[in-house]
Amino acid sequence: MTQIIARLRDVDIYQKEQLVLSGVNLTLNKGEFVYLIGKTGSGKSSLLKTIYAALPLTKGKGEVAGFDLGSLTRKTIPLMRRKLGIVFQDYNLLMDRRVGENLQFILEATGWKDKAARQTRVDDVLEQVGLKEFIHKMPNTLSGGEQQRVVIARALLNSPELIIADEPTGNLDPETSDDILLLLRQLSQKNNTAIMVATHDYRMLENFPARIVRCHAGKVMEEDQFEL
């Protein structure tokens, strides 16, 4: 039976007072890999921000990881986000801490009190992204692709139901971009995690085909409603 991880129904999305997207209907299922495409300014980031509650839901209905977006509070937003993993184009790693310490910091901040359990989890996620031997390295000694793998490891720490990746390969060369996309696809399948990737790189859509959702002219539409 298909399990719905995120659902938006008749949602209007605003940036301040400006309507960015109207009448949004979107469903993401467990283990599903989805591309989000559209021109700069088409509303991709606003849609993602609505899903992870950086923008409030003011019209329509939305549910993500079992949380009602319309009734979130300052207390429940962090609880919802623990069920999500977020990967940005800019890595936002703590440059004064080693790779393992970056990940330990997140686990401590999200309530992992047992030191041995934290270490086991750090080892596990670094192994999943192929960087276990990098645990003691400083982030500034890593390549862009390696830093993004650390960011993906960070997103995996709390076994998210949904990973949101906003232009995760925007700073990377084509070969490294392919490596990162392949890793995300593999993790989606291995962990049965829904992953939504916003991208400008249509080459990826050809190399790694998957469901496509597009922001265009203030609307959100499926691939079969819009030719690439």
Q: Are 228 and 197 in contact (CB under 8 A)?
A: no
Q: What's the fold here for domain 1-83+193-228? A: Rossmann fold (3.40.50)
- What would the pLDDT profile of 138-170 be if each residue is shown by its tens digit? 999 999 999 999 999 999 999 999 999 999 988
Q: In one letter, which amino acid is 28?
A: L
Question: What angle do helix axes 174-191 and 144-156 make, rounded to 10 degrees?
Answer: 20
Among the residue ranges 27-31, 76-80, 145-149, 224-228, the one predicted with the least confidence is 224-228
Q: Any residues with CB less than 8 A from the CB of 78 and at least 6 apart, and which?
A: none
Q: Which candidate, 79, 60, 48, places its Cα nearest to that of 22? A: 60
Q: Any residues with CB less than 8 A from the CB of 34 and at least 6 apart, and which?
A: 28, 194, 195, 196, 197, 210, 211, 212, 213
Helix residue ranges per DSSP H, the chain: 44-51, 76-81, 99-109, 115-128, 144-156, 174-191, 202-207
Residue 209 CA, distance from chain mean position: 18
pLDDT category, 225, cuts 50, 70, 90? Answer: very low
Average pLDDT over residues 217-224: 87
Q: Is the pLDDT of residue 130 over 70?
A: yes
Q: Are 108 and 116 in contact (CB under 8 A)?
A: no
Q: What does the pLDDT read at residue 226?
A: 42
- What would the pLDDT profile of 176-219 be if each residue is shown by its tens digit? 999 999 999 999 999 999 999 999 888 888 888 999 999 999 99
Q: Report the chain's mean pLDDT, rounded to a whole number.
A: 92
CA distance 45 to 166: 7
Q: What does the pLDDT read at residue 224?
A: 57
Q: Is the pLDDT of residue 80 over 90?
A: yes
Q: In one letter, which amino acid is 149?
A: R
CA torsion, ordered 189, 191, 196, 199, to nearest 10 deg: -60
CA distance 170 to 107: 27
Q: Are 159 and 190 in contact (CB under 8 A)?
A: no
Share of the chain above pLDDT 70, in %: 98
Domain ranges of the chain: 1-83+193-228
CA distance 112 to 92: 21
Q: What does the pLDDT read at residue 228?
A: 45
Q: Is the pLDDT of residue 56 over 60?
A: yes
CA distance 101 to 135: 8
